[in-house]
Structure 1
Amino acid sequence: KETYFGRVAKKTLEIKKETAYQKIANDFAKNIGFISIFVVLAVIIINLLKPNYSNFQELIIFAIVLAVAIVPEFLPTMTVLTLSLAGNKLAKRGLVIKRLSSIEDLGAIEILCTDKTGTITTNELKLKKIIAHNEEEFIKYFLADYYFTQEITPYEKAIIDSQIYTDRIELDKNDIFNSIYKNFEFIEYFEFDPVQRIKKMIVKENNEEIEIIKGAPENVLIYLYPSTNLEMQQINVDENQQNGSIVNYWLNIFENEDKNGFRTLALGIKKQRERRFLGIASFFDPLKETAYPAIQLAKSLNLEIKILTGDSLNVAKRTALELGLIDEKEKVILGEEIRNLPEDEARKIIKETKVFARVLPEDKLKIIEILQKDKFVGFLGEGINDAPALKIANVALAVDTASDVVKQEADIILKEKDLKTIVEGIYEGRKVLENIGKYIKHTMSDNFGNLTSVAVLTSILPFVPMTPLQVLLTNFLTDIPLIAFAGDNVKIKEVKKPLKMSSKHLILLLLILGIIAGLVNIFAYLIVRKEPKEIIQTFIFFITTMTGLIVSFLIRTKDWFIFSKPAKAFTLSSVLGIILTIIFVFLSPFKEIFSFASLNLKLIFYSLILILIFILGTEIVKKIFYNKFPDVI
């Protein structure tokens, strides 16, 4: 428990998290439940208080049917279908979803914390240049350990794949090494020493023993020239070099390369009577082709990207600048700068910083803990030390090549590390939330409308506004287009910010839309109030069902509905619902089954006027609401 790994395991076991969607959905369901129970009880009480009311059986059946109709019974089906379609799309893009609800949480991400290597860059080093008096000699000694050990590092591979190597070595590649090293004899190889930061190999060339030293430039220089005396042997390359010591000359080159964000390896040799610093090779890890488009998509989604890398400050800054994530004025913060800071000070720095370098696992945990106090955070981890940060993150992402411990903590597994894949997944997740929100807004605004009108009309009428069978039928017909919401079109501007399923704001919108629908139903009653019971019930049913079908077109977009383009499946299912409504109301034998009366042309004309009023009222209220609360789902 006192070891580093013990502390990591302890932190991992202590952390628990709840998904955003589950919490909001539970709150929303509770609020809807309370309102529904209240209204149903009110309907029963109002009817029971009427003088001489005796049809208790019809009232109880009607109340039960009304309670059933209020419940958004297709929501679980709609949610699973929407998530399944999205999960299938994401799987094709290389995202494996461990639990379907992760897709909803993916869409809620406001900040994505990711590493750099392999996600943003290719993780394949490329040679920038070799700085040496004799490049061919440099390459010969640089690749010697690869020839004799047959173990290639990314640095050797970068040189072999480079144009410099191809230009200098003109022989066929199959014969290159045998030709170069035919006069070499292997003696001994020393693995990389993390303290000295060098590795060595001893060979004989033409029977002369040579020690080849490769490693960090400053450490190779110290190994070759341990004396602090700057009056050292000069390598006559040019006049500028002769003006200073070998050490200062090469340190300046190294510092310049490091300052510009390039990785460097130095090479030197020691013979019995000679020691020479042969030069420096400068490398870089290029951006993936998908990295820049990923950042542009993230910007269009107002998704904040933060890089958490173990690389040096300069390497991290070069990548972020090349990517367009930061500008020259923005700082890159080292992990040690925030490690021991008080939370208030660290919070300000963490919120403002986009790139963190030389971060340790505990730094990642601290960064995510602080960010999650204000935002919804996704984190991409890979090493076993990332387990605590993965567990606490709202959405934990891991690569398929990660350890089992890491993958166990992850919500989503990436088949291949790629920033664009993650950002596209977040976009898909936001579309999922938007489409589920469409269903909730439709079914609940329609249900609230029914509740409002029924509550009012039951206090006026000596009978129920619709028969129990008619209530079930309108509920069925208005639900026909709703499943098609699962694959509906979503404009990118509608998900340009993380959507917030605010229970408070959503209920406010549904109440307002429900009141509009309820008022239209009340106006419908006023038009036919002097007609027989069957005509009143038929007319109210027709208006309720038609507005319930039409509202699906209105609430599926935050824009004016005439400027939006629904999916074909949604349009067809809505038209089907309208056709079926007309068939049930106007054609036998359905009229008799559902106790419908014939509606004359005058009532049909009035119904069109009421539907138009409903459309205008709903559109105006919707626009006002979303102008004030643009981020609410």
Structure 2
Amino acid sequence: MKLTLKEFFAGFLRTRHIARHFRRLALLESINDSTVSREVPPTLANTLVDAAQGDSAAVLSALGTHGDGLNDVEAAALRVQYGLNEVEHEQPLPWWVHLWHCYKNPFNLLLTLLAVISWLTEDLKAAVVIFSMVVLSTLLRFWQESKSNQAADALNAMVSNTATVLRRDAPRRELPIKQLVPGDLIALSAGDMIPADCRVLSAKDLFVSQAAMTGESMPVEKFAHQAQRDTRNPLELDNIVFMGTNVVSGTAVAVVLTTGNRTYFGALAQRVGATDRAVTSFQMGVNKVSWLLIRFMFVMAPLVLFINGFTKGDWTEALLFALSIAVGLTPEMLPMIVTSTLAKGAVFLSRKKVIVKRLDAIQNFGAMDVLCTDKTGTLTQDKIFLARHVDVWGGDCDDVLEMAYLNSYYQTGLKNLLDVAVLEHVEVHRELKVGTAFRKVDEIPFDFNRRRMSVVVEGRGQPHQLICKGAVEEVLAVCSRVRHGEADEALSEELLTRIRQVTATFNAEGLRVVAVAARSMPQGRDTYSLADEQQLTLIGYVAFLDPPKESTAPALKALAEHGVAVKVLTGDNELVTAKICREVGLAQQGLLLGNDVERMSDAELAVAVETTNVFARLTPSHKERIVRLLKGNGHVVGFMGDGINDAPALRTADIGISVDSAVDIAKEAADIILLEKSLMVLEEGVLEGRRTFANMLKYIKMTASSNFGNVFSVLVASAFIPFLPMLPMHLLVQNLLYDISQIAIPFDNVDEDMLKKPQRWQPGDVGRFMLFFGPISSIFDITTFALMWYVFAANTPEQQTLFQSGWFVVGLLTQTLIVHMIRTPKIPFLQSRAAMPLLVMTGIIMAVGIFLPMGPLAHYFKLQALPSLYFVFLPVILLAYMALTQAVKGFYIRRFGWQ
């Protein structure tokens, strides 16, 4: 496949080898937006349709499995037959394919062309030198990316999504998704990613989000049976669920039909190819800079060709020289510098218990100026305590705790921290004899619209009891009576007012209040539905305490000092949220509730989000909308969450942050996984992102300014000197040495002052920087021309090798020193010193630059030894160059600032 310049630069920073394990949602988005047909191979479609229409026993028999699942021996044999449950584009590239990708960029292709032309013109020395550059460049990039891939793979192995598998010879257990095989039985509940294409065997209020596959915004209900027997479209089957989608609510048991590339998702992936996410602001910024240099190259290279062709008369030499100029103008080391810098940042953050799934998210860390975060487990401890169990009027009541315990114990959906806190009261389990005295009849799972869930239990000789637990307002909405001592009374407006006063008092104390209600149901039924959640009796409340973390206050202060505004987006009560914000020192600036968000237009909300930092009672769509509008206002937005309700906002944010204990869909949607849920870790991530950005920007600025100066010098020399100021081979060797000197940039120090504010790509600033600092080197290049012409009499074609040698040394040394001049706004070497690897590499390259014309290899490179007097002038030129650059730098900082 041919690779154009535009395609190459558009893909500069897509670290596709490194992020390969975490692209399912990104690929699904691209499939959904693409014009690629959603048709799949007929064999797969027929397999899914046949499985949907067959009865459960026939499907299990065809798969060679049983009603209680496979055993481990059977599963191992099937894994050998079918392979791991991974989609092809997520696999690592074979080394030879990776090596080819490292070679096939426009720069190496151009160098190869130059080597071939040199060989055809019998300039074997130039051909060997140029070919060596290609090999060295390719191998350097291959080595760096291989190291980065290995580091990323090691980090990614620390975070894996799992599925709940039912095996015949063992209790249900969590296994990595990639170990699933056709015939495995899996249990699904809210928050789970669906790990393969599966046939539903049993389901209870199972709603699945297929938006990424079909574009449907609303979840689709799935059943154990297929209603329409004539349905042929796999996506319309009632009892088939697909890899890459997720469970919104409800529970199910399903059998795996197909895995890996044989799934519907795998078929689409093979048709679309390995597709990355939408281009980030980071990628777009680098693309703009790259195209600035490319446009500059397209203007300057032809000028050099025609000036030298007309003035020297040797068009072949002029063409080679112009091509060499083109190579010198292209930032060929940028992919390697960026990959190395990002990989170094990822490894650093891993030591801080931060796993980076998508490498360019590190830069977004540094650019982030707004962090949206949930309250629970982030501002507060990830440990909730059951503080009170009270009746409707606030008096202690054991009946409420017993009801809440039965609800939490028998519900099979997503058990949150509140359920865990209730279930810690094991004394209730003993007193009620839960395992023997009660039998679960049915349940009505939780969803984020109702914000409540119910179980139906049967005691010995007792009628069925429906127990409902959930948010106070949502439970009150289905209550008609209130338990008052031993009697029940009708729920009136006066009682509603008193109830809200009681719960508000608890909220003001920082307690999260969950209402508990119940209703006796006649025996004889086995299934219940949402319609049964009505005419309930409010029994009381369980109130939970989620104390703030000790690290939260200093972390918020540190983020504020570094220019990151924190906004709290929570589905919790506004009084609880306000109390926690006060305790952690987050000054509340306005408050918006979910209902307020619902009523506002996008234009109104876009204004409100700028002046408000606390949002409460939000739904998942509210969170996503707020994040989207903040991005639309020009902010780089991070979102931190761990629940299924956070997934839309995680995907919308510039950087999604989750934790290893999060639900599958949240981990899959996130760019960053925290092994420790702490804002202090985020603050370190922000700083590392800014260091990463600063080091990458150094290379961009150096490349832009030095290339501009060199080409300007070449134009002047070409117009007035009767021979080439430097041979094509000289330019290429100089460019190679300069590039090698930059390998240490990822390990450089960054001034503390440059870490205090968010840093973002500003391509216009790079262009301005190039125009200011590029001509400085030209001044000293022209000074060198005059020195070689008048002082050393290198002014004839016979003396051109001396002239070229003199400029070769000055050009390389000034080009190498520029990194120290522009890596900091301070005085280099005195106020700010580069890291030792960069200092050592700079010294080595400068020494090699002087050795080449002075040593025994000079004639191979068509150079010659320079007179001793030259080395008297050389330090003067270099010191003057550094002094002038520092002076211009001071003017530039006063006028435009320094990023």
TM-score (norm 1): 0.78
Contact 1:28 1:503 in 2 (8 A): yes
Tell me which amino acid in the other structure corresponds to 1:66. I
2:373 aligned with 1:124:
no
Mapped partners of 1:39, 1:246: distance in 2: 82
2:342 aligned with 1:79:
no
Contact 1:591 1:597 in 2 (8 A): no
Give the percent of matched residue pairs that are identical in Structure 1 and Structure 2: 27
SS state of the match for residue 462, structure 1?
Answer: coil
2:556 aligned with 1:556:
no
Partner of 1:113: 372
Alpha carbons of structure 1 residues 552 and 137: separation in structure 2 relative to 1, 3 Å: closer
Alpha carbons of structure 1 residues 435 and 339: separation in structure 2 relative to 1, 3 Å: same
Mapped partners of 2:647, 2:452: distance in 1: 31
Pick the structure with greater CA Rg. Answer: 1
Greater shift, 121-130 or 356-365, is seen at 121-130
Contact 2:404 2:542 in 1 (8 A): no
Tell me which amino acid in the other structure corresponds to 1:226. E
Cα distance per residue 1:345-375 (max 9 Å; x no partner):
2111111111110111221222122111122
Alpha carbons of structure 1 residues 597 and 59: separation in structure 2 relative to 1, 3 Å: farther
**Displacement over 6 Å in runs of 4+:** 6-9, 129-132, 147-153, 176-182, 185-204, 212-221, 227-230, 245-251, 265-269, 277-281
2:691 aligned with 1:431:
yes
How does 1:277-356 map onto structure 2 within 5 Å? 283-327=544-588, 330-356=589-615
Unaligned stretches of 5+ in structure 1? Answer: 166-172, 205-211, 231-244, 270-276
SS state of the match for residue 106, structure 1?
Answer: helix
Tell me which amino acid in the other structure corresponds to 2:365. L
Give the counterpart of 2:631 among 366, 372, 376.
372
Partner of 1:582: 850
Mapped partners of 2:430, 2:645: distance in 1: 46
Greater shift, 560-569 or 454-463, is seen at 560-569
Contact 1:90 1:425 in 2 (8 A): yes
Partner of 2:215: 10
Give the counterpart of 1:611 among 858, 862, 878.
878
Cα drift, residue 130 of structure 1: 8.5
Mapped partners of 1:402, 1:572: distance in 2: 45
2:323 aligned with 1:55:
no
Cα distance per residue 1:437-493 (max 9 Å; x no partner):
111112232222211111111111111222223222322332233111112122342
Mapped partners of 1:213, 1:366: distance in 2: 30
Mapped partners of 2:499, 2:599: distance in 1: 36
Cα distance per residue 1:201-238 (max 9 Å; x no partner):
9999xxxxxxx9999899799321637899xxxxxxxx
Alpha carbons of structure 1 residues 203 and 570: separation in structure 2 relative to 1, 3 Å: same
Contact 2:390 2:400 in 1 (8 A): no
2:296 aligned with 1:35:
yes
Contact 1:332 1:354 in 2 (8 A): yes
Cα distance per residue 1:387-415 (max 9 Å; x no partner):
44343333333444555554444433444
Alpha carbons of structure 1 residues 380 and 12: separation in structure 2 relative to 1, 3 Å: farther
Cα drift, residue 45 of structure 1: 1.8
Contact 1:381 1:390 in 2 (8 A): yes
Tell me which amino acid in the other structure corresponds to 1:20. S
Cα drift, residue 584 of structure 1: 2.2
Cα drift, residue 318 of structure 1: 1.7
SS state of the match for residue 657, structure 2?
Answer: strand
Mapped partners of 2:598, 2:292: distance in 1: 43
Cα distance per residue 1:257-296 (max 9 Å; x no partner):
3224322469999xxxxxxx99987542122344334323
Partner of 2:110: none
SS state of the match for residue 372, structure 1?
Answer: helix
How does 1:239-254 map onto structure 2 within 5 Å? 254=503
Contact 2:281 2:761 in 1 (8 A): no
Partner of 1:397: 657
Partner of 2:79: none
Contact 1:12 1:387 in 2 (8 A): no
Tell me which amino acid in the other structure corresponds to 2:558. L
SS state of the match for residue 603, structure 2?
Answer: helix
2:489 aligned with 1:226:
yes
2:760 aligned with 1:511:
no
Mapped partners of 2:667, 2:499: distance in 1: 44
2:743 aligned with 1:483:
yes
Contact 1:499 1:631 in 2 (8 A): no
Cα distance per residue 1:92-123 (max 9 Å; x no partner):
43443333333333333222222222233223
SS state of the match for residue 851, structure 2?
Answer: helix
Alpha carbons of structure 1 residues 485 and 366: separation in structure 2 relative to 1, 3 Å: same
Mapped partners of 2:553, 2:405: distance in 1: 35
Alpha carbons of structure 1 residues 203 and 46: separation in structure 2 relative to 1, 3 Å: closer
Tell me which amino acid in the other structure corresponds to 1:84. A
CA-based RMSD of the aligned residues comes to 4.5
TM-score (norm 2): 0.57
Cα distance per residue 1:160-191 (max 9 Å; x no partner):
98xxx9xxxxxxx9xx7899899xx9689999
Tell me which amino acid in the other structure corresponds to 1:624. F
Contact 1:260 1:318 in 2 (8 A): yes
Partner of 1:238: none
Tell me which amino acid in the other structure corresponds to 1:331. G
Tell me which amino acid in the other structure corresponds to 1:294. A
Alpha carbons of structure 1 residues 307 and 502: separation in structure 2 relative to 1, 3 Å: same
Alpha carbons of structure 1 residues 278 and 592: separation in structure 2 relative to 1, 3 Å: closer
Greater shift, 402-411 or 140-149, is seen at 140-149
Cα drift, residue 302 of structure 1: 0.8
Alpha carbons of structure 1 residues 591 and 361: separation in structure 2 relative to 1, 3 Å: same
Greater shift, 146-155 or 381-390, is seen at 146-155
Greater shift, 3-12 or 189-198, is seen at 189-198
Alpha carbons of structure 1 residues 11 and 350: separation in structure 2 relative to 1, 3 Å: farther
Partner of 2:701: 441
Alpha carbons of structure 1 residues 188 and 38: separation in structure 2 relative to 1, 3 Å: closer
2:795 aligned with 1:528:
no
Mapped partners of 1:55, 1:178: distance in 2: 95
Alpha carbons of structure 1 residues 43 and 146: separation in structure 2 relative to 1, 3 Å: closer
How does 1:78-157 map onto structure 2 within 5 Å? 78-126=337-385, 142=401
Give the counterpart of 1:494 among 754, 776, 795.
754
Alpha carbons of structure 1 residues 483 and 119: separation in structure 2 relative to 1, 3 Å: same
Mapped partners of 1:482, 1:141: distance in 2: 68
Mapped partners of 1:266, 1:537: distance in 2: 85
SS state of the match for residue 380, structure 2?
Answer: coil
SS state of the match for residue 864, structure 2?
Answer: coil
Contact 2:400 2:540 in 1 (8 A): no
SS state of the match for residue 508, structure 1?
Answer: helix
Alpha carbons of structure 1 residues 187 and 592: separation in structure 2 relative to 1, 3 Å: closer
Cα distance per residue 1:233-266 (max 9 Å; x no partner):
xxxxxxxxxxxx9999997664333224322469
2:566 aligned with 1:566:
no
How does 1:380-391 map onto structure 2 within 5 Å? 380-391=640-651
Greater shift, 591-600 or 358-367, is seen at 591-600
Mapped partners of 1:519, 1:501: distance in 2: 29
Alpha carbons of structure 1 residues 548 and 179: separation in structure 2 relative to 1, 3 Å: closer
Mapped partners of 2:617, 2:490: distance in 1: 31
Contact 1:116 1:308 in 2 (8 A): yes
Alpha carbons of structure 1 residues 421 and 570: separation in structure 2 relative to 1, 3 Å: same
Tell me which amino acid in the other structure corresponds to 2:745. F
Alpha carbons of structure 1 residues 312 and 629: separation in structure 2 relative to 1, 3 Å: farther
SS state of the match for residue 529, structure 1?
Answer: helix
Cα drift, residue 517 of structure 1: 0.7
Mapped partners of 1:188, 1:247: distance in 2: 33
Unaligned stretches of 5+ in structure 2? Answer: 1-206, 219-275, 461-466, 519-537, 795-800
Contact 1:16 1:391 in 2 (8 A): no
Mapped partners of 1:293, 1:472: distance in 2: 52
Partner of 1:207: none
